[in-house]
Amino acid sequence: MGGTHGGELLAISDLHVAYSENRAIVERLRPGSDDDWLIVAGDVGEVFSEIEEVLGLLSERFAKVIWSPGNHELWTHPKDPLEARGVARYDALVEMCRAKGIVTPEDPYPLWEGVGGPLVIAPLFLLYDYTFRLDGMATKEAALAHAHEVGVVCTDEHFLHPDPYPTRDAWCRARVAETEARLAAVDPGLRTVLINHWPLTRLPTRVLRYPDFALWCGTELTADWHVRFRAETVVYGHLHIPRTTVEDGVKFQEVSVGYPREWKAHGRLPEDPLRRILPVPVP
């Protein structure tokens, strides 16, 4: 169901429901019609039971939910009874989503046949490989040393384990190779909506308040994917800087809610935080 009778394709990310203010936002999320699809581009929360509860709630409200994991879902958090790490944790999340009818990066890509379609809706899981480095930083090691020196270190370094891969960047390279092959097999006559928690290109990270944080924000291996794989638009989160940029004529839409201290300080959270991806809003 969904997508064929005037519904909308909506998107949101970085719900961070451990915060009561953000949980209240989730409680009021509603589709505009029975045909609306919802993209959730990662960082629902850190504790497995909370992630399961929220995604279950959304799957009951929307005709279809499409989920890409963020770094927070992949954490093995000290407060989480589920102690699975790395790939095992990701697999547990995928199985939980499948039980609720939620589309994951491991499932066949659904076809949007509503207004603006047909489009292949492709949730991705790609991680990062420390290649978004400051100018002059030739290696991952040098970049990480500088980040530690200035005190800008992502919590992933403590909670996001890559098991059984030796490093997070090794896991990233494996995910990129696997995903690249899947996207290459998509009907070349169809355009796509690419969804990933982390931005696919370096450009969105140029406005970060702390430039070193870009290390944990993506990989240069995907810099041309929006062109190669015929993206109508790219949807992402992670940066907590909701905005739209354009590269090579393709819209990149950051759809995060972010932490309460962020959206309250900027007064930026609208009454309805859902971003409409399709039909394309009229300016």
Q: Is 252 helix (H, G, I), strand (E, B) or coil?
A: strand
What is the distance between the alpha carbons of residues 239 and 123, in angstroms, rounded to a whole number?
18
Q: Is residue 33 very low, low, confident or very high in pLDDT (cuts 50, 70, 90)?
A: very high
Q: For residue 258, what pLDDT is reported?
A: 95
Q: Is 191 helix (H, G, I), strand (E, B) or coil?
A: strand
- Taking residues 43-51, what's their average pLDDT? 97
pLDDT at 156 over 80: yes
Q: Which residues contact 1 (CB under 8 A, 6 or more apart)?
A: 34, 35, 63, 64
- What tens digit of pLDDT does each residue of 192-244 get? 999 999 999 999 999 999 999 999 999 999 999 999 999 999 999 999 999 99
The pLDDT mean for the chain works out to 95
Q: For residue 5, what pLDDT is reported?
A: 52
pLDDT at 250 over 60: yes
Q: What percent of the chain has pLDDT over 90?
A: 92
pLDDT at 1 over 90: no
Q: Is 37 helix (H, G, I), strand (E, B) or coil?
A: strand
> Cα 238 to chain center, whole Å?
7
pLDDT at 62 over 50: yes
pLDDT at 86 over 50: yes
pLDDT at 4 over 50: no
Residue 231 φ/ψ, nearest 5 degrees:
-70, 130
pTM of the model: 0.95
Query: What does the DSSP 8-state code read for residue 279?
Result: S
pLDDT at 2 over 50: no
pLDDT at 265 over 90: no
Q: For residue 219, what pLDDT is reported?
A: 98
Sign of the Cα torsion 233, 237, 243, 247 reads negative
Q: Which CATH superfamily is domain 9-278 in?
A: Metallo-dependent phosphatases (3.60.21.10)
Q: Nearest Cα to 199, choosing from 180, 177, 226, 181?
A: 226
pLDDT at 173 over 50: yes
Q: For residue 266, what pLDDT is reported?
A: 75
What is the distance between the alpha carbons of residues 66 and 104, in angstroms, rounded to a whole number?
6
What is the distance between the alpha carbons of residues 276 and 194, in angstroms, rounded to a whole number?
15
Whose structure tokens read 């993209």? Answer: 39
